[in-house]
Structure 1
Amino acid sequence: MVDGSLGTPPRRPLAAFSYTAADEEKSRGVRRMKATATGLLLLVAVVYALATWGRNEGWGAWTGYVAAAAEAGMVGALADWFAVTALFRRPLGLPIPHTAIIPTKKDQLGASLGAFVGENFLSPEVVRDRLRALGIAGRLGAWLADPAHADRVTAELSTALRGALTVLRDSDVQAVVGEAITRRAEAAEIAPGIGKTLEKVVADGAHHRAVDLICARAHDWLVTHGASVMDAVQGGAPGWTPRFVDKKVGERVYRELLRFVTEMRDMPGHPARGAIDRFLTDFAADLQADTDTRARVERMKSDLLARPEVQDVIASAWSAVRTMMLTAAEDDRSELRLRARASLISLGGRLVTDGRLQGKVEGWLEDAAAYVVTTYRAEITSLITDTVASWDATQTSRKIEANIGRDLQFIRINGTVVGALAGLVIYTVSHALGG
């Protein structure tokens, strides 16, 4: 369901922050340390009681020093117990302000953590400096230059290519390819290009072989189908002419036509060949400069592209390309894979030795990373804040205490010891100054 006021869908709950068996094992260690810290508190309390009683009983001046140290140790132990406990729960269940900090301030802590990460780890300057210090381009080049690594990358690329070609639907790709080719062909005027090519072909005399082939084939055809040619000429004669006249005319036309073609075939300097050269030269110029000729060629192109047979050929091009690429990707000795492997090794070698290329690649990486952190920093940090917000407060408190609580108990122990020493020093100084 979409929130109509915001225009964005509501966030789904994230994965739970579960309390695991490993956390329970850590909790047992925390409880042992708590017992140790509490036992030390009880010890200094007993010492304080005995020292106070001994001082009242007249055991000597030393009992005052012991009582002062024990009293300060109790104060330090209780203060640190309160501080450590207040992180996870309310001491003695009392609603004291600024206690149970983790359960009550969990969301604020998550937001602060997200902001801290965004400002100090996801800034473009930090990312650029870190990537620059890593020298990724040189390391990547050294890695790719190893033929074994190049083989591995080539194999992975081939697998990815096969997967992509398998996922793509042929009908969709054919439609896209067909539309792209047709649009490109429609947008590009072909007449000037054809004219320039034809002009160069005529200037180089490359068309002479085609003319030779046509003349030779025409001669052979006339030799083979002479009767058909004469019959065609006779069939077109007027009905009032005598049959023998029609036959003579047909034979004469056939002989002249055969002679003409034979001369064109055997004489490179035949006038008809020169006429063909002039025609092609003029036609090449018209294709480039004559508006009517260019427009007619474009209409012919459009009519040709619109024919279903041509569209079928264009669409079927993808099937041929797809089959070729799949075959090449599956064959580890195919030209495609061999060239890809060689290119990777060559690229690796250049990345190692070419400082300019290294600079370009690292610049691209830095720009890409800076763009990502600049554009998507809010989304990245929201992963932290949203995840923390989705955690159950009680479970979060228990889990954090299980992981760091043991170290926190040393604070209580240190507080007891340091408090006792501080109390002893203060009592000693006070006693010395007072008396």
Structure 2
Amino acid sequence: MSRTPMALLSPADQERLRSLRRMKAVALGALLFMAVLFVVSFWLESRHPWLGYVRAAAEGGMVGALADWFAVTALFRRPLGLPIPHTAIIPNRKDEIGRTLGEFVETNFLAADVVRDKLSRTALSQRLGEWLRVPAHAERVTAEASTAATAVLHALSDDDVQGLIADLAREHLIEPDWAPTAGGWLQRIVEADAHRSAVDLAVDSIGSWLDSNAAAFQGLISRRLPSWVPRLAHRFVDETAYAEAVKFVRAVQADPRHPARLAIDGYLARLADGLQHDPAMRSRLEGAKTSLFDSPRVGELAAQLWNTAKSGLLTALADPRSGLRVRASQAVAEIGDRLATEPALQARVDGWVTDAAVFLVDRYRHDIASIITDTVEKWDPAETTEKIELMVGRDLQYIRLNGTVVGALAGLAIYAVAHALIPGV
């Protein structure tokens, strides 16, 4: 039956082929048995009239076996190679069968209501959660994800990634005009007095530094005095400068309306206005930004950061005991635990999955079903016949066997009824 060598068939197909051959042998054996029984009974019927019933049964069995052999064979090929009409149905109507099968699947299995009904009765998220909450399963998911991420990182070209980063930076950071946006933000910060905390922090930091670094003022000013000024004056000048600095900082800390604070407020307000409306200031900011990003040092730093991040990721992904892998496994297990125990979350996730599946089926069900049609159309007619016969041929041989039995019973019944109703037969 099979044109494909046994060694090229899958183990499952090899077993199907053996079963098909056994059933063909059984069906043929039943036909031969009926033929032998017919010859013997026909030969001895004149001496033993009761063998007429055996002959009739054998004759009917042969007719039934031959008729069903013809019917089964006609599905797959021409019986005895004869060009009989309406035979070799599967190879001759292969494409039509594929289209019909695709339409059947599309109509009865890929309908939105069928998919929604099936998924609504399936606790998808709960089952997934029960599986993911098991630590071994969470580690398996993490390991598979790590393998995939490692493959992606190895596949990425460093030059391509750096080029992509540079293109994205230029598109989203360099080409846009920063000045108006920065000026607008700064204006809102000043108007809301949100900069006060930053000014307080700066003043407090200066005050703390002065308290801890009085010695730094020794010689800070006096070394610039003429050499003929007495040493005592040098010390007096330095101490006075330090005392005035401390006094100034304390005054700024104590007075919210100190002129220094007001000067800072005025400067920030002017800066915000200039960034939004002064072309010269905006041009200086954009020039500084472009010079910064176009600096070779910045490019080298970006390349170093990518190489360091990539190396670190690869090392962490390869080590099952790394912090990244451990935390990822814990996160997956926690997600599984929530999915398994929180009905509200289950309902949301099931709803998302169902809606997504229904949308995909509704939108692409014809394309999905066309896979069947296109695949069958590409099959060779002989290959199609072989595949289908391997799948259903064994069951069809039972039709031949049943035809033999039913034919024998029918022949016996007809012969008995004829003898009973027609005198002299």
- TM-score in terms of structure 1 length: 0.75
| C-alpha RMSD of matched pairs (Å) | 3.8
* Selected match of 1:278 from 246, 262, 275: 262
Written as runs of structure 1 = structure 2, the 5 A alignment for 1:116-195 is 116-185=104-173, 186=176, 189-194=181-186
Matched, 1:20 2:6: yes
TM-superposition CA deviations, 1:338-385 (whole Å, max 9, x none): 432332222111101111211222223233333444444444434333
Determine what percentage of the aligned residue pairs are the same residue: 38
How many residues align? The count is 397
Instruction: Give yes or no for contact 1:202–1:281 (8 Å, CA) kept in 2.
Output: no
Aligned equivalent of 2:204: 209
Aligned equivalent of 1:36: 29
TM-superposition CA deviations, 1:289-316 (whole Å, max 9, x none): x532445675454233212237524565
How far apart in 1 are the matches of 2:41 and 2:87? Answer: 29
**Gap regions ≥5 residues in structure 1:** 1-16, 232-242
301 and 321 in structure 1: CA distance in 2 versus 1, 3 angstrom threshold? farther
Letter matched to residue 211 of structure 1: I
Aligned equivalent of 1:292: 274
How far apart in 1 are the matches of 2:87 and 2:107? Answer: 28
Letter matched to residue 302 of structure 1: E
* SS of 1:278 mapped into structure 2: helix
How far apart in 2 are the matches of 1:395 and 1:253? Answer: 107
Q: Which moved more, 1:312-321 or 1:273-282?
A: 312-321
**Gap regions ≥5 residues in structure 2:** 8-13
397 and 341 in structure 1: CA distance in 2 versus 1, 3 angstrom threshold? closer
* SS of 1:72 mapped into structure 2: helix
Instruction: Give yes or no for contact 1:69–1:420 (8 Å, CA) kept in 2.
Output: yes
187 and 156 in structure 1: CA distance in 2 versus 1, 3 angstrom threshold? farther
TM-superposition CA deviations, 1:156-205 (whole Å, max 9, x none): 33333333222222222223334434544436622344455674342572
Instruction: Give yes or no for contact 1:154–1:337 (8 Å, CA) kept in 2.
Output: yes
402 and 209 in structure 1: CA distance in 2 versus 1, 3 angstrom threshold? same
Instruction: Give yes or no for contact 2:98–2:372 (8 Å, CA) kept in 1.
Output: yes
Matched, 1:45 2:38: yes
Instruction: Give yes or no for contact 1:44–1:73 (8 Å, CA) kept in 2.
Output: no
Q: Which moved more, 1:376-385 or 1:100-109?
A: 376-385
Written as runs of structure 1 = structure 2, the 5 A alignment for 1:343-362 is 343-362=331-350
32 and 141 in structure 1: CA distance in 2 versus 1, 3 angstrom threshold? same
Matched, 1:321 2:309: yes
How far apart in 2 are the matches of 1:191 and 1:216? Answer: 36
Letter matched to residue 42 of structure 1: A
* SS of 2:218 mapped into structure 1: helix
Instruction: Give yes or no for contact 1:144–1:344 (8 Å, CA) kept in 2.
Output: yes
Aligned equivalent of 1:226: 221
How far apart in 1 are the matches of 2:35 and 2:169? Answer: 88
Instruction: Give yes or no for contact 2:183–2:273 (8 Å, CA) kept in 1.
Output: no
Q: Which moved more, 1:97-106 or 1:360-369?
A: 360-369
Aligned equivalent of 1:302: 286
- TM-score in terms of structure 2 length: 0.77
TM-fit CA distance, 1:426: 3.5
Aligned equivalent of 2:94: 106
TM-fit CA distance, 1:98: 0.8
